[in-house]
Amino acid sequence: MNIPGGDLKAALDAYALQSGTQIIYNADEVRGQRTSGVSGRLSNEQALSALLKDTGLYVKHDGSSAVVIFRGTMFDVPAQPLDRAIAAIEAQSQLKVIRPAAMLDAISNAVHGVYAPSDALRMAIDGSELAIKSEQGDRIVLARQEAGLSTVIVTAQKRAQSAQSVPISMTTLSGKTLDAFRVQSLQDVSRLTPSLLVSSFSQNNPTVAIRGVSNTFSQMGVSKPVAVVVDDVFIPRNSASSFELYDLDSISILKGPQGTLFGRNVTGGAIVINTRVPSFEEREIETHTSVGNYGDRQFSGLVSVPLSDSAAFKISANVHHHDGYGYDRLTGREQDDLNSRNVRTQWRMKFNADAEATFSVDYGEDWNRGRTLSSDTLGSDGNNRTSELGVNQGFNRSQYGISAKVNWKVGQGDITSITAYRDSRSKETYSGVGTNYRFLVTGAQALNTDADQVGTLSQELRYASPKWESGDFVTGLYFMNEAGNRQLRTTGLAAVTGAVNSDVLSAAGVNTTSYAVFADGTLHLPASVDFTAGLRYTRDEKDASLTRTDFRSAARSFNVSGASSSWSQVTPRGVLSWEARPGFMTYASVTKGFTAGGFNTEAATADIFRTPFQPETVLNYEAGIKSQWLDNRLRVNAAIFRMKYKNKQELVFNANNGILTIVNAGKATVNGGELEVAYKPTRWLDLSLGYSRLEGIYDDFVVGAVNNTGHPLGNSPQDQYSVAASMNLPLNMGGYLTGSASYSWVDSYYTGATQDPNLKNPSYGLVNASVGYDSSDRKWGVSFWIKNLTNAYYVQTRSTQVVNAQYAAPPRTFGVTLNTRF
């Protein structure tokens, strides 16, 4: 770059021409200024900085490719009462600020550094009830603004929309809420979400249910009825869907069948997780360091750096360890411990004004010493934090993913392409029976080694039309291929002696290919009425093989390959919504979803394996309201629904042949309702309430001698609710008092369809809380937190295999976290 010294305005015009950068400046501030010029191999930023040297002018980006030249002032304004802070900014600049007649009893943010006077004022009042009403030159008028609930932007309909404008039942948690309530797992999400139940059978097999819709099958030949989606990428296996949550922008839980827009057609709902993307304008450095009881140690952090006005990079990481919550009293090994390491990198690039891409790579690994399955009967010592298994358990998993999301603005609308590959490998060794063989009188202790390897390639291509006056639409194509292998070896140790009396290895391979084409659009009708209609055609194909090796009885071994089947389904949705006034919408909808069929890849006979089970379908009828009141300080959302199941997939022990098999169990109905209330009585306090009521019944469930007709649906607690509060109170001494508290209640529920009292989890209530302090400039903070404050005992799953046993959820944990931001 070669720009001679002299008139600054001429030099800036030459710089704009040579660099291709748009420059915005005030001619009066530039007029008469001189520059020494620049020459040589300099970056754009270095050249511009040299041109402005000793001029008193500074540079900032305006959020696009342009840069703004402004006359900056060095401010040194500590946190203090607002009126004094505003007066200090006036004194340190030429600014004239017109204040409201009655100033607020609040503390300003600290302002240190070189800023344009108006920017310094904005920083000082940010988070208060004051806002800039008008700005004319050096004269700024402030006005009081009412404290309102924050608006969360979601992509539930594949467009960026306010959550309140989407006519479906959904719970959305912002990144701020996730941090306030220390949400680190899907189980934590369920504490704040009505109709969502998250539990665990074992480390490798979580239970996720929305409105009672779930399955607990870990077999490779099965598809999930609840989708977990991270940055628009579907996570296909249960073994890969439970992970540490960190560096998130939002989580949305969409309730009911998602049969139109989401990559995988599901009957229950979708958990949509969005991570933060790097910024083109702002550098961010954050760290979060925690220590607590049970040897809890956690560090998470991120570095996000703008590389230029069209490129940015971010790396975030999370490392977490805690000691075991229980131990095996026969081996002395701790259990329910955690070791987790995760890293995610993202590159964001703007190719031009109309095209942008985000490239992501993530890797994670975690391991522990297995679950504390504690006997209720034989061998029990009366302590549910000890097990009597007498075997070495263990779990380890590694997974990684790469993805590219590209957005193009075309003449009429937007095109989005999402290409992704994910790979997960997990292995778990655990006792399926809740006590050691030496305590058994009959039967055997089953030891399981469960390992799977799954690779998934997916591609989604969609087009979103402009938002015309008459309406808009989204259409697209989806492709997914999942290649999975699973090896399950079960060894039986005979009662009393421990002699091996059974030893079976099931090695299954399943290749799943899914194709879909979809369209969803909204038509604006008179009188503020919208009609939304969607249609999706899905075809799923599965090719499966199973080698069953019975090491004790060769006659029971078999090898079957080439089993294949395919299923096609058209799933529609229709929604009629009416916005009676801004902030008040009612809607009614009919939506259909389906979960693909599959194969019994743990079948005891070749005939059972060759016979596929069929897809399950759900038709959901729903009506609801979404409303805001009191100048957006009160939000009330409610929905009632009726879901009709057909061919529900269930795992059944058939007493006629003694074989455990996945079958289509017939029909079921789920009736229910949901209520969510959020209230912001003051600017520093947020209150919320969530409640759900479920009444799920099997209408027709007869398989051989098994008759579960009339029984309640598994994993569907009748009542579930939470109340929560978070605060961010400015202090007269400077800084902010922060804190949160929540109470959640889950009613008792059966984990299966048999209505066996030994498989019924009792109801429980859970209290979580935190209190902390943030500095005035928000650059550091400390918080003290506690989970399960009352040390409530609650069960994740029960087992009736040979003996009655239970797997308890975590006890009371507490600690302290230090947060820093630069």
State the average pLDDT over residues 213-222: 82
Pairing label, strands 23-24, 67-71: parallel
What does the pLDDT read at residue 508?
Answer: 96
Residues 24, 66 contacting (CB under 8 angstroms): yes
In which band, very low, low, confident or very high, does the pLDDT at 537 lie, cut at 50, 70 and 90?
A: very high
Please say if the pLDDT value at position 361 is more than 60.
yes
Euclidean distance between CA atoms 283 and 285, whole angstroms: 7
> Torsions phi, psi of 364, nearest 5?
-150, 150
- The CATH code that applies to domain 73-144 is 3.55.50.30
Per-residue pLDDT band for 79 (boundaries 50, 70, 90) equals: confident
Torsion 218-224-228-231 (CA) sign: positive
Q: What is the DSSP letter of 162?
A: E
In this structure, the chain runs to a length of 822
Residues 6+ apart with CB under 8 A from 596: 223, 265, 512, 514, 540, 542, 567, 615
Q: CA–CA separation, 157 vs 591, rounded Å? A: 14
| 78 or 177, which is more confident | 177
- Residues 343/358, Cβ–Cβ less than 8 Å: no
Q: Is the per-residue pLDDT at 259 higher than 90?
A: no
Would you place residue 462 in the very low, low, confident or very high pLDDT band (cuts 50, 70, 90)?
A: very high
Q: Which has the closest alpha carbon to 323: 266, 382, 369?
A: 369
pLDDT at 262 over 90: no
Name the residue with higher pLDDT: 805 or 28: 805
Contact 145, 129 (CB under 8 A): yes
Q: Which residue ranges does the chain devote to CATH 3.55.50.30?
A: 2-71, 73-144
- pLDDT tens-digit readout, 682-732: 989 999 999 999 999 999 998 877 899 999 999 999 999 999 999 999 888
Least confident of 520-524, 631-635, 783-787: 631-635
Contact (Cβ atoms closer than 8 angstroms) between residue 738 and residue 727: yes
Residue ranges matching CATH 2.40.170.20 in the chain: 272-821
CATH for 272-821 (3.40.50.720, 2.40.50.100, 3.30.1360.120, 2.40.170.20): 2.40.170.20
pLDDT at 99: 82
pLDDT digits (tens, 9 = 90+) for 382-406: 999 999 999 999 999 999 999 999 9
Q: Which of 63, 58, 89 is nearest to 76 (CA)?
A: 89
CB count within 10 Å of CB 811 equals 17
pLDDT (0 to 100) of residue 153:
63
Judged against a pLDDT cut of 70, whether residue 146 lies above it is answered with no
pLDDT tier for residue 152 given thresholds of 50, 70 and 90: low
pLDDT band of residue 65 (cuts 50, 70, 90) is low
Lowest mean pLDDT among 153-162, 231-240, 548-557: 153-162
Instruction: Give the pLDDT of residue 102.
Output: 61
Helices 44-51 & 8-19 angle (0-180, nearest 10): 170
Report the C-alpha gap between 103 and 28 in whole angstroms. 34
DSSP-derived letter for residue 110 is P
Residue 411: pLDDT band (50, 70, 90) is confident
Q: What is the pLDDT of residue 698?
A: 94
Strands 616-629 and 111-115: unpaired
Q: What tokens does 822 get?
A: 């630069």
The predicted-structure confidence for 737-758, as pLDDT tens digits, reads as follows 999 999 999 999 999 888 899 9
pLDDT digit string, tens, across residues 623-677: 999 999 998 899 999 999 999 999 998 888 755 545 678 888 889 999 999 999 9
Query: Average pLDDT over the chain, rounded to whole?
Result: 89
User: What's the CA dihedral at 546, 428, 385, 432 to 10 degrees?
Assistant: 20
CA distance 346 to 670: 41
DSSP state of 763: P
Is the model's pLDDT at 103 over the cut of 70? Answer: no
For residues 383, 385, 391 and 394, what is the CA-based torsion angle, rounded to 10 degrees? Answer: 170
Confidence band for 115, pLDDT divided at 50, 70 and 90:
confident
At residue 771, does pLDDT exceed 70?
yes
Query: What residue type is 369 in one-letter code?
Result: R
Name the nearest CA neighbour of 218 among 235, 231, 200, 205: 205
Residue pair 417/461 in contact (Cβ under 8 Å)? The answer is yes
> Would you tell me how many other CB atoms lie within 10 Å of the CB of residue 693?
18
Contact assessment for residue 260 and residue 535, using Cβ atoms and an 8 Å cutoff: yes
Summarised one tens digit per residue, pLDDT across range 554-579 is: 999 999 999 999 999 999 999 999 99
Task: Give the architecture (CATH level 2) of 2-71.
Answer: 3-Layer(bab) Sandwich (3.55)
The percentage of the chain sitting over the pLDDT mark of 70, rounded to a whole number, equals 94
